[in-house]
Every structure is written in structure tokens, then in C-alpha cells.
Structure 1
Amino acid sequence: MEGQRLGGRYQIESRVGGGGMAIVYKAKDLILNRPVAVKVLRSQFGTDEDFVNRFRREAQAVASLSHPNVVGVYDVGQEGDTHYMVMEYIEGYTLKEVIIQRGALPVEEAVRIAEQICDALDHAHQNQIIHRDIKPHNIMIGKNGRVKVTDFGIARAVTSATITHTNAMLGSVHYFSPEQARGGITGEKSDIYSLGIVLYEMVTGELPFSGDSPISVALKHLQEPLPEPRQVNPAIPQSVENVILKALVKDPFLRYASASEMLEDLETCLFPERLNEEKLTFPVDEEMTRVVPIITPDMLEGHTNGKTGGAGRSRYEQRTEEEGAKPAKKQWWVKALLWVGGIGLFFVLAFFGFNLLLNLFPSVPEARVPHVVGIDVSLAEKKIQENKLVARIVEEADDTIEKGIVIRQDPAPPMGLKENSVVTLYVSKGQQEINMPNLVTLPRATAEEALKSNGFQLENVNFVEEADDKAEVGTVIKQSPAANEKVFPTKTNVTVTISKGKAFVKMPDVRNISVEAAQVELYKLGLGVGKITKVPTYTTDKPGIVLSTHPYDPGMDVQKDVAVPLEVSNGQYPQDAKLANVPVYVEVVPGEPLEVKIEVTDARGEAKVFQTDTITENKEYDVPIVLAPQKDSVVKVFVKRSTDQGFNEYQTIPVSYNSLP
């Protein structure tokens, strides 16, 4: 079916699993743009009208369930001869796959999984829905560890006839309750028994009863005592074994009264004070162990060649083999007459009894259930009453639906009910205030998950970054609203401030100033002083002058608290430096003042002004220079007369390193 579109909106992508009655595909809901799981009935069941009708009714009922441990049912439909159910898509594995891969699970993990299954069953039972097919194949373990129970709709639709499909039912019959195997009425306690088998398999890695055919397994559920879990796995605490024993007692009246009672026991069974409690024991009912299930002749005929062949013969034949049959003392026609008379008397009494009941309890007419989802509760109640039904109101918080509007109803149309039956209306209380979660110190990803799990939409959350000298990069340092403040998740604007780590500052230029002055400038910006190295230099003969801050060059972004290393002068020139004085003579025209500027380019730097002066008579200057092997010197003299607009070059005196001794 890959590539096929069902219902005009579900695009089948790939097959992800299958069972005896259906095949499961991953699909895409083209309208809501989300992945879904589509369960398609196999063709042999799609032609069974009774099966399909029951399947549809139960799917509609299960769609009303809303529980974190129940796989949601979104839709049910038909495309030609193809009947399908659309459900929530779970990324993960079935519990059966987990047990096959890992064997017996740790007791703590098994109990945690059982608690979630039990919680789901309790919710379903409170909504008058019995699963009837609890087994590891129908339990999904999501990649996030969440447990999801699926196949509610399929379970209810299964009829007793499906037991003839041996391959389909061999998996399920291992988890049947005795009353299911007997063909009797199943209820909440059947689900509890099946959950007990699942818990048994999780903690031991194996099933308590197995056989070559469904009938042989069913007989073992009815007749054989339970192999005790601690005999298979001695590491199981007695308290956990007690939970299993109470769930798997053959008499339904001795089992847990409800899934909620079993859940309470599971939640406390690993408490230290319970681990070594006394072992549970139950009275043995010999009659119950001899009860034979209702099995069709075809099943028995096909079963006589199996390992439990003796069960295929009548109880009369077995008894005559063991005790020896004795000839009947009465003639056969006497027995036949007695049987006919007894049966006739039974039908006469049944006829009169039935008429008496009809007179005592007249039939109640049916009423149609109206559709009231999405309207105000007062109008919904009125519609229910107009249809001669009784409305029961259950309020629920809802982030998206206005207060007082019906969210869903149970049952939903087009179902019919007896007059004065109850229709449950789930009505929105509007969005509920919650305490704002504390996000400070959480990594950003964890903070986002905390917000989503509390109902916040991330598009309404403003994440900003801010430098912080103490908080680790990427963690939350501030939030608004504050923790524990009352908020509405979908209405409140949230601002989350994320740490960028320590702040950065621009590295100042502290070259050519004293060490003390450099320290002051660095401290002002939150920077420290690292190692101070004294070296000779061509640039100055003054000690303690900062030469370099490498590797933190001026203008670079530097994180606060960084210790900046300083390279400073030691007051000496390098040994290969040559020092000299260059004489400069400037002549003046009498009566005309002259401004003089002398620039020196040498190993100390480029075009440094040596002196400026105003003279009225001739003057000679001694200009000191410093030369290096790779740096000669040039002395330039500039003059400016009163009539000049600016300085004019007066004299240039080059001095090479090699010209000096």
C-alpha cells in the first residue's frame, strides 16, 4: 500500500509492523502535516460485517480516551474494501521487541513500565472500555521512555470465532485470562490478569504457560498452577512476586478489585519495608482446576494429535477409562423419555418466566445522542435533555478551548441509548494558572523542554544572550516571569536570558607608558597583569616602559579577568646598537626670527620630533641618534619664517650604521 492515499488525507509511506488481524503503516496526515500510524484490517476480517461494525463502534469509543499512556485514535474510515484506523505515531519499539533483545528486565524498570500500563487501564476502565488483548506486542516504548498502550479498538472487535485463526491467536492466548480461555464474560479483571502475565514475562524473560497450539495453552491457564516467578529469577523481591501472584490467581474474585488497586500496590512494592514481606497464598479450589473451557468440536478434533490429547475426549470417556464403565441399569428409552420431559418442562417454565419479566420490566425506548461538541455547556445540556437523556458534566482544563465550551462527549453520535441514559460532557475550564518553572542554572535545551512540558509554546518565548562572569556559557541566568509566579502557559510572554560567559572588552594600547600607568588602565577594564618581562630595546633607554602586550594586541576583544603579559624596557639598548650625536647648524637672517623643528628617524622610531625652537640668531644643535644593524638614521631640519605659511625643509642629514665606528 506504500504510496496510496486513504481518506484523501493519509499518505501511506512505509510498513512498520503487523499482526494477525491488521497491518500497521507509517503515514503522513496531509491536512495537519504530522506523522500518523494507520492500521489496516486484513482482507479476511474486512469482509466480516459484524467484525467491522464492532471495530468501528469501539474505535469511536476509544477515541474519547485522553491519557498520556494510551495511543490516541484520531480517525476511522473505509476506502473501498479497505477498513482502517488512524492513530498517534510512536517512535520506538514494542515491549515484546525489548524483551526479545534484552531478556529479563531489571525489576525497577519492569515495575515502572507496569505502573504506566496499569494507569492506562484504570483510565480505560473508568470509561467503561475493556482492552481484552493486553500483551507486550500492544505496548509501545517510545524513545523518550514513555509507555503507550495500543490496540484498544482491535481488542474489542475480536469475536470468539477468531480463536480458529491459530497463527493470529497463538500470541494472544499466552496472555488470556482463565475466563477468556473458558469463553466466558470478560471484564476489568481479565485485563488485570493479562497485565500480570506481561509483568511475569518482564521480570523472568519467559512466559508462565506455553504449548504447541492455542488450545493447549488455554487449558494450562485453566488447569495448571502458576510457576512461581522467584523460582525462575530468585532476584525478584517477594513484594513484586506477590503483585504477580495476586494478578494471576485463577479465581477473578481473588484478584485485584480494580486496576487502581493494582497500581497502588505497584507504586509501593519496591519500598524497602516491603521487599521481604510474607508470600501471598490463596485457597485452592479443586473444582476450578477441573473446569474445561467451552471448545468447539472442530477445535477438539484438531487438538487430539497435540501434546494434551487427553483433553479432546469427553469427560465420560476419561472417567470410564480410569474407573471402568459399568453397564447402565435402566433401558435407553427410559433415559430418553426423562430427558425429553425435563427439556420440555424447562422451556415451558422459561416461556412463562420471560413473559413475567416483560410485564414487570417494560422495554425502554431508545434515544439518539445529539452532537454537542464545540457549543456552550448550557445549550449542550438543553439538547441532551430534549433528546430524553441525562447530561453529566466533567470539567477539564484546556489551553486552547474557551471556558464553558464542550471539548468532547461520551458517547458520541450516531450512537443510540436508552432514554434517561447518561451522556458525559467534558467541558473546558479554560486555561489553568500554573507556577512558573524555575529555569535558572538549566542549560538552554533543558529549559526549552521544561517550558514545552508545562504547555508553553517556544515561539512565544524570547531567548536573549548576556555576558556573565560566573555562569557557564549556554545556561540560564535570568527569567521573566520569576520562578513560582502564577502564569498562563499559552498567554504569558516569557523572557529567558542565556549566559554568553564572561564579558569581552577592547584591549587598550598601553605601549610606551610606564608599567604602573599600564596596570591602572588594565584594571579599569577588568583585566589583570600577567608576567612582566624586562628586555633591552632600541626604542628607549628609560627602564619600565611598556613595549608590548602580545598576544593581546591593542583593539582586540579580550575576555574579562584575562591576565595580560607585559614586555617592558630594562633601561639598556641592545649590544649591537650604535649611539652618536649629529651636529645641526641653522643660520638666521638678522632681524628676522626663525622657527626651527628637528625630526629624527632612527632605531627608536619614525620621524620623532627631537626639538622645536624659535631663534633670532645662528644656532648649533647636537642631535643624539640610535642606530641598529638594520636601521640607519635620518635627521631632518625644518624652518618657518614669519612670511611662510608653513615649515619648509631646511636640511636633511643621513647617517648609516656602517659609517660609525
Structure 2
Amino acid sequence: MQGQILGNRYELIEKIGGGGMALVYKARCQLLNRYVAVKILRPEFTNDEEFVKRFRIEAQSAASLSHPNIVSIYDVGHDDNVHYIIMEYVDGITLKDYISRKGPLDWKEAVNITIQICSAIENAHRNHIVHRDIKPHNILLTMDGIAKVTDFGIARAVSSSTITMVGSTIGSVHYFSPEQARGGFTDEKSDLYSLGIALYEMVTGKVPFDAETPVAIALKHIQDQPVPPFEINPGIPTGVNDIIIKAIKKDQNKRYPTATEFLQDLYRVLKEPYGEFLTEDESESSQTRRIKAVNPANHERKGDYLIKEAKNTQKGKKNDRLTYWAAAITAVVIIVIFSIVGYTVVLPAITGQSEKDNFIMENYVNREITEVKAILNKAGFEKIDIKEEYDSKVKEGIITKQSIPEGTPLKPEGYSPIEFTVSKGPELIKIPDYRGKDPREARTELRTFGLETADEWENSEGIAEGSVIRTEPKANEEVLPGTTVTLFISKGPQIKLTKVPSIIGLTQKEATQRLLEANLKVGKTFPEDISTAVDKVEDQKPAADTEIQEGTAVDIYFKVDTTEKPKEIKYTLNLTDSEQYGDTIKVLVEITPSDTNIPEIIYDEEKGKAEFPFNVPIRIPAGGYTKVRIYLDGEPYLTEFTLP
């Protein structure tokens, strides 16, 4: 269908996807000059009136939704026997492809994606629309990392990964809820179950239930308990694990009752990754159980005597503890006093040294290392070790730590080296070269470096659409943490429009030249076997004055005159029995064409013998014949004959 125009407006450019129910094309809206996605119902369903009716009603219902995380539906229609839906064109990949490329996602990234999906589901549920087929295949991720949910109320693709009950598709087997597997009543909680399964896959890289057949997988949804996500990926916080476990409960009443409550826990877990998200009842089935503390009041007492003895014992123990602590404090005070006296009086008296000989260590933190080194060197301390560390909050050359505490007395001889930790200032980050790379990967890596990111889109002839053209600051530049790096992303070559010239009435050569001058190409020609260069163009597609992209092909339709035309043949006249003729012979050729039936002489000349044989042109009427008579020297030469 590529190249076809639907509804005199949507030009199909290329196929970009498809499922059991429909095919999806990238198209250009000629009216608004923008790209759109066109979902076309497969031909095998177009004769099912009930299916087509449901296709249109559900598409119109989904079109009522307006949310930044929902793929917008612009139009619904049909052209001849082609039924289609016009949707927002999302330049990105599915969440399923993203997980397949990256494997398990970082839990924060997974939660942020889930928040966007849950917000879309919340909006749909408020409008009384249940998706019934939430899965990573139906989530599109844009180049900016925005998640968009598609196929609201429409996704019923018949494939090996779906189960059909009572004539209607229930959902995709790896992601649908136990009630869907049983063919029971589905409601908003069924969407939240599927979203929980999708979050499970994002953080672990695999679905919780898998088997060789769809039926076996469905039974696992009904009967089996999933392996807790943090047993597969120990890096998942318990809060995220608990949220997933709650979302995929078998019992609908034990799941999140609404998308709003699900959203609240998702926002909360970003701040409290190890918070409590399950009640005791909800956590009983999980392998991590919370055990109540033992309450001594619950133990049986045996009589007033035991109670009284217990009180007396506790009172005695309390008095003993007071005595012990009083004695310990007194001893410490005495030891401190004697230490001070011994250090300041007795030791100098014995060694002959006085307090004034000691250098008292000061607090040098937040001072310049060069200044402090000069002070210490002047006091006789040469052994100074410097350890440099990057520090985003302290400028270069400032001391952040010292090995010897403030107030410590030192002597210039026999001391251990003094060690200072000195700031090297903020660590500069060298920006990698991301040219031609996926902006998602660039964005993720830059953020791990502590940098902020921003996106700018522009046309590029040399860089593929959706890839990074350059960065600002440029590649290999060194910047401070927190710097915003702008990623310039390719929109592909600039779409240049031109008006289709009129080529009606021109020959093939003239039409080709006219189209080339308008930067257009010659498409198909009808009929293909143009026999003459004089046939004129009768029609063209696209029509004259239509605005289309440069380089587009224009199909040409020629008006060919099919009436048969007269033809001319060359009859070769040979001379036999030449001896009976002189050196020159008078030759006369008479013809009678069938269209006029009037004899006419077409040749009357003298010829030398040496000029024989020679050709005589004879006209044959269209669809007719010509009688020929030849005379040599006035005598009939051959019996009258007919051509052709």
C-alpha cells in the first residue's frame, strides 16, 4: 500500500509495524504537512461487519482521551474497503524493545516509566475506559524518554501470545490477569495487574510466568506464586519489591483498588525505597515476613508471690547499677586529674622540658595548604603528607581534613608525619563524543556523571533521524558537575516541498524534463509500452499544483491513439529474361488501393538494365490491401498481384 493516499489526505510512506489485527504505516498528512501513524485493519477482517463496527466505536472512544502519556487519535475513516485510524506518530521504540536492548532497568528508571504509564491508565479509568491489554509492546518511548500508551480499547490482535474466549480476545498471555485467564469479569484492577507484570519485567529483565504454550502460562497466572523480584535482582529495594507483589495479587480485592493509589506508592517509593508498602496480611504470602515483638504482659504470672519477688529483684538491681556508675565516674575523674598533673608537672620535671617547648596543633581545616605548610615548616615540622581529593563544595588548595587533632602538643623531633587532605576542587568531567549515538544512552550516561541534559532537534543530511548530531558543550570539553549538556538530535533531512507542475498534453520527453525541473521524479507510466514519441499525457498523479516533498515520484498516464494507420512497404522489382529487353527499359507501376478502389500510377520511369533490381514504395491502406500491376516497355510484366 506504500504510496497510496487515503481519504485524499494521508500519503502512506512506509510500513512501521503490525499485529494480528492491523498494519501500521508512517504517513504524511498533506493538509497539515506533518507525519502521522495510520493503523489499517487487515483485509481478512473487513468483511466482518460486527468487527468493523467494534473497531470504529472503540477507536472513537479512545479518541476521547487526552493525556501526554497516551498516543492521540486524530481521525477514523475508511476509503473504499480500507478501514483506518489516524494516530499521533511517535518517533521512538517500544518498551519491550528497550528492555530487550538494555536488560534489567535501573529501579528508579523503571519506576519513573511506570509512573507515566499509570498516569495514563488513571486518565483512561476516569473516562470509564479499561485498556485490557497493557504490556511493554503497547508502550512507546520517545527520544525524550516519555512513555506513551497506545491501543486503548483496540488491542485485540489475534496471535500465538493471546487467548480468545467466547469469540473475543482477552489479552496478551504473559501480562493478563488471573480473571482474564479464567474468562471472568475484568475491571480497572486487571489493568493494574498487567502494569505490575510490566514493572516486574522492567526491573528483572524477565516475565514472572513463562511456559511453552499460552494455556500453560495462563494456568500459572491462576495458580502459581511469582518469584519475588528482589530474589532475581538483589539491587531492587524492598519497597519496589512490595509494590510489585501487591499489584500482581491473584485476588482482585488485595491489589491496588485504583490507579491513583498505585501512583501514590510509586511516587513515595522514590523517596522511601525501603519503606513499608505491605500490611501484615498482604505480606504473609511473601517470603519476607514481619514478626511481632514478644509482649511480656502476655505471659502467664503464677501468683502474687512471684510478682512481689520480681519487683524486689528489680529494685535491688536498680540500686546496684546506681552504685556502680557512681564509682566508675569518680574513678575516671581521679584518673584524668592525675594524668593532667603528671603530664604538665611531673613529666617536665623529670625530663627537664617545659610546656613552652611543645608546639600545640591548631585547627587548619578551611585554610590554604601553602599558608599552613609555611607555619609548620617555620616551627620545625618538615614531614608533611598531602592527600588530594576532588571536592565539589571546596575550592582547590583548601584543607578539608587533618590527621592530628586540634590542641595536640607536638615536638619537632620524633613526630609522625602530619597528614592533610586537600581539595582539588570540583572534578571536571570530559564530555564523550556522542555523534550518531542513541540519545537515550547519551542521556543516561551523562546523568550518571552528575550532568544535566537538554534536547534540541534540528535537520541533518548526514546523521540518521533520531541520532545525536553534536553536543553543547562540545565533545572532549571538560565541565563542572551539574552543567547542562544540550543534545542536538537529528530530525533527518529537511522536508522540502514543491508544487507539482502540470504535464497534461506534453510528450513523454517534455513531461520528464518538466518534472526534473521541479525536483520530482518520473514514477510509473501507463500504459507501459508507449510506442511513439508523440503520445500525449492525459492524466497525472499527484495532480498539478499539489504540494509534495521534493524527490517524490509522479505517475504519468498517456492518451494513445489505437486506430490503425496506413503503412508503406518496399516492393523489390527483379528483371528476368533480360535478353529480350534493350539497354534501357520503361518501367510503369500501377496500384489500386482498397480504400479508394481507384487505379493510380505510382512509378513511370526508364531504367537501365544495370539498375535492376530496385525498390518501389507501395502504400497499403489501414486494414486493407493494394492491387499491383507492373509494365515493362508497355507490356504486362507480371500477373496482377495483391499486397500484403
Say yes or no: TM over 0.5: no
TM-score for the superposition, normalised by structure 2: 0.42
TM-score for the superposition, normalised by structure 1: 0.41
